[in-house]
Structure 1
Amino acid sequence: MDLTIRLKSKGGVDKYPAKSHARRFREKLGINSGIIVAAGTKNLNWPNSDMPAPFRQDRPFYYLTGCNEPDCGVSYDVDKDKLTLWLPPVDLGWHQLVYYGRGSTVEEALEKYDIDEAQYIKKDPSEADSGAEVSVHSVYCKPVSGRPRLGLFKLNAEDEAILSQQNASKPDLLRRALNACRVIKDEYEINLIRRANDITAEAHTAAFKGMHSFGNEAEVEAAFMKTCIARKAKAQAYDPIAGSGPNAAVLHYSENVAEFGKGQTVVLDAGCEVELYASDVTRTIPINKHKPGHWPSKEAEQIYKLVEKVQESCIKKMLPGNKYIEANWLAHHIVVEGLLNLGILKGDANKIFHAGVSTAFLPHGLGHHVGLDVHDVSPDPPPPAQATTSEVDRLREAYIRWKPEAGSWASELSSLENFAIGPGWHTSLSGADAPVLEPDMIVTVEPGIYFNPVLLRELLKDPKRSQFVDEEVLKRYIPVGGVRIEDDILITKKGYENLTTAPKGEEMLNIIRESARKG
């Protein structure tokens, strides 16, 4: 006998965990009563146009709802543990319905979203001017007494004054609490980022397979985007970067139209979103029409292998309890060692490091958090505390690695951040006072070495740093352009997991070779 059990659940069992996110937010705020109110993004047209601008949901609102529809609101009644989604009315004019469709009904919202209740935002002409509309990109918390009139999803003047006063007295309370929630991902969020990485890996691989026939950056981007769109991941976490030749040394280049010409590398930095959760992946691909899948010069191969070494070494530092800045310093140590071995730099490694010479070749931080934003929020630094001797010693060792000259560093932990480097170093992950890595954080590790004309000119006209550079050797490497390799790393209880499955190194080269052979 075949016994089949069928379960029916509103919206199924795989809903975005909005209710648990609201509860986490409440716990981080440390409140037992009150109400939290937030508004999502509105539909807007481009300025001076009747064409709609691309819609991008407010991330804090989405975190509390899982709702990617415009013109909505949310309220969370802390006392009743009740999460309510406020929907625009469905009785819209025919123009809205015909051109853009309608949003969810109350019944549909209850099926789709992890909420307790759904209601329409009423439109009562008699109340139209009675209060200020809840501002977009704002989250409020207030006591139970004198609640905002959520039937209209408006705040009257008295409520608005109370909330303004509360937010003025604790301006960062809500932001800090929500950031603390978002930086630690739950299983549902991790799986979305994992799926985004899998699609992104397929898209990068598609670009590899076409490299033997491509002649410009546009074709690289097109191959990547075709795969994402076919996998229903049209939304990108950021504008794809497909920079070749000198464009490979421009960090956020995104024109993606140049011919390869004499370029030696293409830096493909591109990652799709899945249900608003980002991936962030970079691969550097050789340009070689004569021998696809081979580096066009020994200089290009040497720089790629050096960046590969930096990344592999730094990923091993992505452990719970470590500070990210330790890996950041390690990256610069290895860059200095590598450039010394290649002859680009000369002199004493310790002096080169402390002069900040490596920042002319690696001018950005090593990585950042990934989540609902590609550069996701970070937790605020913990309150100042006296570091233990072992913590100071560990950071000092990560910072120096070579025996310093007497008096070249201070023993205080706070002074270890005074490394003379360029813009982008002091990211939220890269400060000595930043919180340690914790399980279920997801961070990128993205070292690079670039031969950017602007940075090199600044380096060579500074006698304190140019003394360490062999200009004749440097000239041989400038045509390489740039190399960057980036993966998304999940911190686990005992170590880390690399969520990025896009091929790199020899695996990437073999794919290019095999595709060229078949082609």
Structure 2
Amino acid sequence: MAIAENYEEVLNGKYPAKAHAKKVAEWIVGKGGDAKGTIYLEGQKQKLNEDNDGEAPFRQRRYFFYLSGCELPDSFLTYEIATEKLTLFIPPVEADEVIWSGLPMSTEEAKAKYDIDECKTTKDVNSHLANTSESAQSTIYAIPEQVSDHITFLSYKEKEFKQLKPAIEYCRVTKSDYEIALIRKANVISTAAHVAVMKAAASVKNECELEAVFLKACVERNAKNQAYHSIVAAGEHAATLHYVHNAAPISSQNLLLLDAGCEVDCYASDITRTFPIKGSFTEESLAIYKIVLDMQNQCINALKADVLWDSIHELAHKIAINGLLDLGILKGNADELFEKRISVAFFPHGLGHYLGMDTHDTGGNANYQDKDVMFRYLRVRGTLPERSVITVEPGIYFCRFIIEPYLKDEGQNGYIDEKVLERYWSVGGVRIEDNILITKDGVENLTPTPKEIDDITQLIKSG
């Protein structure tokens, strides 16, 4: 059976907070840290909107959630490395709050729900820190910008503020069965929403309606939070990589690019599909779609643990070059086009990124100062470890802002046939994105969303 394929069964258990805490502690100690130290983290505070008394949308801090599984605002935790004791502190009962919001979670309920050893109220945080075993001779590990003013570490011999954040970011790259199950569930819900959009596309009048269809499908499946702002881009709007207006009329455009994904219990999905709005590709849009699908399939098939992601990104560019040569958009020798980085005009972003609690998850070691334009926006550099989850999202775009400087450059314009290119501006852009689990010998595709040409065209026409 695939890892966490039976995601509902896996999710009947508890979020593995103690296993995560131990993993982080081992990283710290392995780097020379204090084996008798204490890890300290705070959850996000509930905030009010700046200009009224309404609550701002709440998003739990991911560092805190990774070691707690707790979604409650205004909470704290400690993890004593030597004893492996994880203690959660949650807000106490406040009578004035109960009037408006009802009874909060009790410490007994929290201990039963979360993978922790003890639960106290937030009134006990400082006294607990002062009384932690051997604290006077040990080190407290915290994230400096995430320590409240009223918290004191006076009882600790050493205060260490540099190691905890990178430790958690490193550990988050490789996923437990529970985390994989959450991502898989988010993908299943988002797939239902993508399918709903495909079925509705032919009858709508603007991009807003399709965004609403997607959101409705997620919310009615109890996924009320989106992992990121959706991209619903018809026609040439899809040439804008992070198009977020989602409000333009839909009339004669051929393609719609939908980049959207919900989150489940703080874990993201990130799925892109591009499809013909009325169910039929044009000659030009079909040709580009086939190239991008080939890019994605070949790159996914080349993945396994310890593969160099940079080389997979290069593979995507080489496939794009060959495809655009076959169409006559590019001219010349494939190797020379690759060396001259001409394909970056049509595929300017990185092939993908790690996925987890953040859409662009931690640990990628990107180098946005890279002088090589092919790698400047590659969010992951280096080899992929087993149990990491990465997006594979190649694309080909016809963005005038990006391509026209190539056409005006004497050293580059000879590689692009402007007459052939003219037929493709209306395509806008094509991107196909799946969420891929890296295994020892290959991959598992966590994204069941239809993408084969016959499948998507039949879906659209069935709506």
Query: When the two structures are superposed, what TM-score results if normalisation uses the length of structure 1?
Result: 0.79
**After the TM superposition, which residues 198-213 of structure 1 pair with which residues of structure 2 at under 5 Å, given as runs?**
198-213=188-203
Residue of structure 2 equivalent to 1:98: 99
- Selected match of 1:337 from 315, 318, 322: 322
- Tell me which of 369, 393, 396 is aligned to 2:354: 369
Instruction: Report the equivalent of 1:110.
Output: 111
Structure 1 Cα separation of the partners of residues 149 and 426 of structure 2: 59
Q: Which whole-Å CA distance do the structure 2 matches of 1:423 and 1:459 have between them? A: 17
Instruction: Within 5 Å, give how 1:283-322 maps onto structure 2.
Output: 283-288=273-278, 293-295=279-281, 297-322=282-307
How much does 1:212 deviate? 2.1
Q: Which runs of 5 or more residues in structure 1 are unaligned?
A: 1-11, 133-141, 382-416
Structure 1 counterpart of 2:280, which letter?
H
What is the percentage of aligned positions where both structures have the same residue?
42
The amino acid of 1:344's aligned partner reads I
Structure 1 residues 229-378: aligned runs within 5 Å = 229-288=219-278, 293-295=279-281, 297-378=282-363
SS at match of 2:275: strand
The SS at the match of 2:137 is coil
**1:88-487 matches, cutoff 5 A:** 88-90=91-93, 92-94=94-96, 96-122=97-123, 145=137, 154-156=150-152, 158=154, 162-163=158-159, 166-167=160-161, 171=162, 173-288=163-278, 293-295=279-281, 297-378=282-363, 419-421=372-374, 423-425=376-378, 427=379, 429=380, 431=381, 434=382, 436-487=383-434
Contact 1:360 1:455 in 2 (8 A): yes
Residue 115 of structure 1 and its aligned partner are, at CA, apart by 0.5
Note the C-alpha offset of 1:46.
Answer: 1.8
Opposite residue 106 of structure 1, the aligned amino acid is: T
| Separation of aligned partners in 1, 2:12 and 2:462 | 43
Q: Is the 8 A contact 1:490 1:496 kept in 2?
A: yes
Instruction: State the match for 1:6 in structure 2.
Output: none
Distance 1:459 1:15, change over 3 A: same
Local SS of the residue matching 1:104: coil
2:328 maps to a residue whose letter is: G
Seen in structure 2, the aligned counterparts of structure 1 residues 215 and 77 have a Cα distance that, compared at 3 Å, is same
Q: Deviations over 1:354-407 (max 9, x none)?
A: 1111111111000011001111111659xxxxxxxxxxxxxxxxxxxxxxxxxx
When residues 93 and 60 of structure 1 are mapped into structure 2, their CA distance, relative to the original with a 3 A threshold, is same
- Asked if structure 2 preserves the Cα contact closer than 8 Å seen for 1:368 and 1:376, the reply is yes
Compared CA separation, residues 188 and 157, structure 1 to 2 (3 A): closer
Q: CA deviation at 1:192?
A: 0.7
Task: Give the aligned residue type for 2:26.
Answer: E
Q: What corresponds to 1:394 in structure 2? A: none
Q: Mind listing any 5+ residue stretches in structure 2 that lack a counterpart?
A: 1-10, 141-147
Q: What letter is aligned with 1:316? A: N
Matched, 1:64 2:67: yes
d(CA) in 1 for partners of 2:157 and 2:55?
Answer: 33
Q: With structure 2 as the length reference, what TM-score do the two structures score?
A: 0.88
For 1:54, give the aligned amino acid.
Answer: P
Letter in 2 for 1:281: I
Q: Of 52, 55, 64, which residue of structure 1 is paired with 2:58?
A: 55
Q: 2:4 maps to which residue? A: none
Letter in 2 for 1:241: I
1:87-138 deviation line (CA, Å, top 9, x unaligned): 1121x242x33334453211111111110000012289xx9xx9x9xxxxxx
Q: Distance in 2 between matches of 1:36 and 1:54?
A: 27
CA shift, 1:304, in A, is 0.6
Q: Distance in 2 between matches of 1:262 and 1:453?
A: 20
Instruction: Report the Cα distance in structure 1 between the residues aligned to 2:51 and 2:446, rounded to whole angstroms.
Output: 43
Q: Which residue of 1 aligns with 2:28?
A: 29
Corresponding pairs, count: 434
**C-alpha contact 1:299 1:477 (8 A) present in aligned 2:** yes
Separation in 1, partners of 2:462, 2:388:
37
| Residue 264 to residue 72, structure 1, CA distance change in 2 (3 Å) | same
Cα distance change of structure 1 residues 13 and 195 upon mapping to structure 2, 3 Å threshold: closer
Distance 1:486 1:246 in 2: 19
**What is the distance in 1 between the residues matched to 2:217 and 2:153?**
51
1:160 CA displacement:
8.6
Tell me the distance in 2 between the aligned counterparts of 1:343 and 1:147: 64
Q: Pick which of 243-252 and 276-285 moved more.
A: 243-252
Shift of 1:419: 3.9
**Does the CA-based 8 Å contact 2:436-2:443 persist in structure 1?**
yes
Structure 1 or 2, whichever has the larger Rg, is 1
SS of the residue 2:67 aligns to:
helix
Deviation at 1:72, TM superposition (A): 0.2
Q: Is the 8 A contact 2:91 2:121 kept in 1?
A: yes
